[in-house]
Amino acid sequence: MARTPLRGGTAASPSALALAADAARRFYVEGQTKVDIARQLGVSRFKVARLLADAQDAGLVQIRVTVPSSLDGDLADALRARFDVRAAYVVKPEVDTVPGQRRAVARFTAGLLEESVGPDDVVGLAWGRTISELAAALHAGLGCRFVQLSGALPRPDVEESAVELVRRAAEATGSSATTFYAPLAVPDAATAEGLRSQSGICEALAELDRLTRAVVSVGAWRPGESTALDALGDADRRALARAGVVAEVTGVLFGADGQDVDALADRVIGVTGRQLRAVPDVVAMACGDVRAEATAGVLRSGIVSTLVTHASLARAVLAQP
């Protein structure tokens, strides 16, 4: 009588395989518990666990998981494998323009937060166009605490200040907000130190050590694509480009190899690279194909645990050397 090999090189008879298949059908198809299956088959719960393992080893169970049609699972898998991120989601925007990409990525990220954030979470929010879209998409009651990650600067394409954006996210979700008024970057370290020492700003920045999650966007080191760069003069921009900066995340700068570039750190009012690396889950949103090199650099840094992007940028990132 032919036998099918199982784990450890042993073999099973047709009757053993039939029992394993019966247990697998009850568990995977009918949704019965292992306790119920054990009672019905007259075996122990531990035997049921072994039968389920045997069913998989013998090829009797074939599990196929698909992703929604609005996502590209193959690109997400490739990003996870290439950059060793914990989770990656690649959306397919209905309107494949930069505003459409930004809207799709932000709305998907808002859904992730609504599914995973709870009252015990302290969630840091960056500032910018994609974060503004995210705040507009949040509706579910979260009851968490939102914390402003950094100062900001006026931009014609972002109506709300960093303070207003964090407060709007908190109000929409029944959460509290910790905010402060300050620019993202200032001309010198002494000015930055003076601002950080002010009571309201000092207390808000202390909250950054308590973050359980941070939601940021990836900026490329070019005009119009980085909040930090747009806050600087031409001389600073050129100097930082010569230092190898290709990407920015809420004022923290990165080179193409993922290494931090600290040349601006003493002048930024907000979260530091050290603090971001200590956050259990950093969710990075990346939009616009011009940010391929920047996104690859940020992913190489190891600072990102969850990436949300769109299909064309995902392909461009994977094409980076």
Structural domains in the chain, sorted by start: 4-57 (1.10.10.10), 73-318 (3.40.50.1360)
Is 112 buried (19+), middle (13-18) or exposed (0-12) by CB count in 10 A? middle
DSSP H helix total and E strand total for the chain: 14, 13
Apex CA 117: angle with CA 90 and CA 149, to 5°? Answer: 80
The whole-model pTM stands at: 0.84
Q: What pLDDT, in 10s, does the model give residues 204-220?
A: 999 999 999 999 999 99
Better-predicted residue by pLDDT, 190 or 6: 190
Give me 276's structure tokens.
Answer: 């971001």
What pLDDT band is residue 6 in, cutting at 50, 70 and 90?
low
Highest mean pLDDT among 42-46, 60-64, 101-105: 101-105
Q: Output the CA–CA distances (angstroms, integers) from residue 8 to 5, 12, 50, 57, 60, in the order listed.
A: 8, 12, 13, 10, 17
Q: Which residues of 76-89 are buried (b: 16+ CB within 10 A; e: fewer)?
A: bebbeeebebeebb
Tell me: pLDDT of 13 over 70: yes
Tell me: pLDDT of 130 over 90: yes
Tell me: pLDDT of 227 over 70: yes
Q: What pLDDT, in 10s, does the model give residues 63-96?
A: 787 788 899 999 999 999 999 999 999 999 999 9
Tell me: pLDDT of 3 over 80: no
| Average confidence (pLDDT) over 296-312 | 97
Tell me: pLDDT of 31 over 70: yes
Beta strands in 163-226 (DSSP E): 176-178, 213-217, 219-220
Q: What pLDDT, in 10s, does the model give residues 93-114?
A: 999 999 999 999 999 999 999 9
